Chain A
Amino acid sequence: MRRVLPVVAVALLLAAALLLANDAAGDSRLGAWYPWMLGACVLALVVLLVMIVQRLWRLRRDLSRNTPGARLNRRVLLMLIVLALPPVLIVYAFSLNFLHATIDTWFNVRMERALGDALDIGRVYLDERLRTAQQTAATSAQQLADVADADLQGRLDGLIDAQGALQLSVFGADQGVLATASSDAQFLAPLVPDSAVLLQVQGAGRYAAAEPVGARLLLRVVQPLPGAAPGAARLLQALYPLPAQMQTLTSGVEQANFDFQRLKYLRESLKLTFTLVLTFVSLLSVLFALMMAFGIARRLTAPIGRLATATRAVGAGRYDTPLPIRSDDELGFLLASFGQMQHELELSNARLTRSAQETENQRAYLKAVLERLSAGVLGLDRDGVLRTSNRAAETILDAPLSRYRGQHLTQVRRDHPALAPLLDNILRHVRERAREWREEVVVDNAGERRVLMLRGTELGDSGENSGVVAVFDDLTQLDRAQRDAAWAEVARRLAHEVKNPLTPIQLAAERLRRRFIGRLPAEETELLDRATHTIIAQVEALKAMVNSFGDYSRPPQIDARPLSLHALIGEVLDLYENDQRIQLTRRFVPGDPILRADAGRLRQLLHNLLKNSLEAIGDVRKPHIEVSTRDVTENGESWIEFAVADNGPGLPESFGERWFEPYTTSKSKGTGLGLAVAKKIAEEHGGSIRAENRQGGGAVFSVRLPRESALERA
């Protein structure tokens, strides 16, 4: 519809303009359609105007929306209008001028005067002929004056040929025809004088005029017949023809003059009509040119607009903008090339995305690996700025290293001075630009001594990724395990090497007593008694110590069975209940926690802890030992914890994991194996032991063991 309507409007306007022009030129067949044609012209103009205004509004909207190609469209449109409009206007102006000048040339003064003169000649001739006709008619009237009405016809028949008249008629006083004679079959019926003729007859005595009758010009004379009274007179009417040649000539003169005068009168109307038609056609040309300009501009700029849209899309990272190629010219080639480039870009971008995704996956994988490494990892750049660290590093060093990313390692050292041995080592190697190094570093952090195996490697030679990566393993557990194994070996050898000779020594000492006591003098007997007693006592002590070593070195052979923790603790505490030196308190969690444990080993553990507390209390005035139990849930696992707390002097400042090693004790007495054995038993049961100071004074040793929930009684 949008495409058909302008064409219909243009065709309508053109047809209407042509019809108007033809009509103005003299073709009057379309008179009835004149208003419709004019209306059609106006309607077509309105349609074209509306469509142009609509397109202009759309262009303005596109401009305001910054639609791709809109500005180019405007520019091309303006260029086309500048190209098309002036020629049309110039042609219009010249045509108008030419038209008016041409119409004006039709009317020159000389021709008008000539035609006027010819007309005057014709009139003079007619007047002359009319005078002759009047005389002839007067003569006839005289001859008919005395003729009776009944004889009139005969006289008229005689007169008509003699006078060369076309028709002779006599009318009575009542305008009735008394007689008529005709020499031409066309004029058989007499022309009845009307009131105007009669009026002139009454006024001037006769009527004489050249009258057009049909296609001919006749001389008509009406005069009363003499001798009659006024009002009752009979009237003679005579019609005379002009000579055939004069008839043609006068008719030609009249027609020429008639045409000229008519044209003269119509001159302005002609100009107006032709101007209107020309204006219509010019407007049609202008509006059609505008319409075409819109179409051409759109056709020219549409591919460029699509190209701009596609360029924007490519800029935004979209490569799927369709670019239909509708021409095989340079624009088509440009679109095809852009489409190909877009396709290549899309492929390249896809490859890039895949590569980035792979890199990201790799990075995530490396990060996951790094996070799950048991070894601590620190990444630094060439200047010693921390770039990365893993969770293990934070755990081992007990420092929130992730907060220090982007900061120099000296800042970490400043905030965590305990880490100085490690950090200084790393910084030193960074400064020295060492390619690789490996050292063992001991860090005492928060009273905990950690042995770290530090390895460093230089990353790359230059660029963003250059720097150093430091990896350190916590060897503390390994070190401890090695020492435990060594102690176990020592204990085993002691048990083996020392225990064997003890029995012969004891037996030898007892044989000496039996043999010599009472046989020697009293003084010597006393000496021997004391000496052998000491030997036997020390051998016993050595045996006890060796047994302890034996316990410590014994491989874990536990006979684990479900048991009630509270019952077991109760049994052990009952042994200490009657000890007047201490006040014993029990504080158990409600219920009856069940453990799967070796009852004997667990009793030994509890004895060791109670004994340790008793030895630690020493000279405290009101010694107090509290044994408690509590439920613990950690990381989804259930534990039962029992603790032995005292109100002694508390743990020494240097207390740490090392204190659970054999021969580590602050007391003057004891083997130094109590806590080591206790720790070993706890670990044999899948548990752990820890020691800490109490808030009100004293120390507390807590043993955490996995509970056997399924076997517990409510």
Chain B
Amino acid sequence: MVSFMQLWKNAISIFVCLLTTACAQSPAFVVRSASIDAGTLAARLEWHPDARVLEALDHGIALGFDVEVQAQGRASWSGRVTLAEQTRHLQLRFFPLSRQYQLRDLDRDQARSFSSRALALAALEDLRLALPEWKVAGVERYRLRIALDRETLPGALRLPALLQPAWRLCKGEYAWPARTG
């Protein structure tokens, strides 16, 4: 009987998830500003993660982030041409023994440790990433996209991450003109 009850609960949960997925919600990531200066990307973000995401972080589940920066050219009927792009992978992780949160640049193998989650999140929101020098002409604007990388989540969490908005909406986007940036 318990199994059947559980089955119903799960079924209802899936149904609710699907239903909530269909409903529009505001994204958890908001990019307030961004600029590229001397080969360094500086972005001010706001991330309001769901409690379930934070709970996962505190339970040792590493959160991966994809930071995609694009240099785009003139707009045409098929959209803007991407002249150059760079994708960086960040990871936020909690270490229970040392009670440290670590923000790691996986591409450069650089890590910063924080004694509290707030500091770690603040570090993430004040994002600074060294970018390779782009020698391309005709760049009109830059675009920054940051999103939670659900593929790095544990297998068991992938299905809820696919269905639950708390995980689905962890992404933000920002574009700015090349001259003023």
A-side residues, CB < 8 A to B, are 20, 22-28, 31-32, 34-35, 38, 93-94, 96-97, 100, 119, 122-123, 126, 194, 196, 200, 209-213, 217, 250, 253-254, 257-259, 261-262, 264-266, 269-273, 275-276, 279
Contact = CB atoms under 8 A, between A and B. Distances in A.
Given A26-B154, A250-B97, A266-B157, 10 more contacts: A28-B152, A28-B158, A122-B97, A194-B112, A209-B115, A211-B102, A211-B113, A212-B102, A266-B154, A272-B160
Contact of B155 (A24, A94, A253): A24
Given A38-B162, A97-B2, A265 B55 contact: yes
Contacts of B24: none
30 contacts: A20-B159, A23-B155, A24-B155, A24-B156, A28-B158, A31-B155, A34-B150, A34-B151, A35-B162, A38-B159, A93-B3, A119-B96, A196-B115, A209-B115, A210-B97, A210-B100, A211-B102, A213-B111, A250-B97, A254-B95, A261-B96, A262-B60, A265-B60, A266-B61, A266-B154, A269-B156, A269-B157, A272-B159, A273-B160, A276-B10
Interface in B54-68: 55-56, 59-61
Contacts of B152: 28, 31
A212 B98 contact: yes
A428 B96 CA distance: 134
Interface in B31-66: 55-56, 59-61
A271 B6 contact: yes
Q: Is the interface of A mostly helix, strand, loop or mixed?
A: helix
Contacts of A38: 159, 162
Interface of B: 2-4, 6-7, 10, 13-14, 55-56, 59-61, 95-100, 102, 111-115, 119, 123, 150-160, 162
A219 to B, nearest CB: 9
Contacts of B154: 26, 28, 262, 266
Contacts of B153: 31
A126 B98 contact: yes
A262 B98 contact: no
Contacts of A262: 59-61, 154
B98 A210 contact: yes
Contacts of A200: 115
B107 to A, nearest CB: 16
B105 to A, nearest CB: 13
Given A34-B162, A194-B112, A96 B55 contact: no
A275 B8 CA distance: 10
Nearest to A23: B155
Contacts, number: 136
A275 B7 contact: yes
A265 B56 contact: yes
Contacts of A210: 97-98, 100
B97 A32 contact: no
A196 B98 CA distance: 16
A590 to B, nearest CB: 107
Contact of B100 (A27, A212, A253, A273): A212
B43 to A, nearest CB: 16
A213 B10 CA distance: 40
Contacts of B100: 209-212
A265 B61 contact: yes
A348 B29 CA distance: 90
Contact of A272 (B10, B97, B112, B150): B10
Residue of A20, A94, A266 with most chain B CB atoms under a 10 A cut-off: A266
Contacts of B98: 126, 209-212, 217, 254
B83 to A, nearest CB: 26
A258 B96 contact: yes
A96 B7 contact: yes
Contact of B60 (A97, A123, A194, A258): A258
A254 B3 CA distance: 34
Nearest to B149: A31
Nearest to A38: B162
A668 B128 CA distance: 165
Contacts of B112: 194, 196
A17 to B, nearest CB: 12
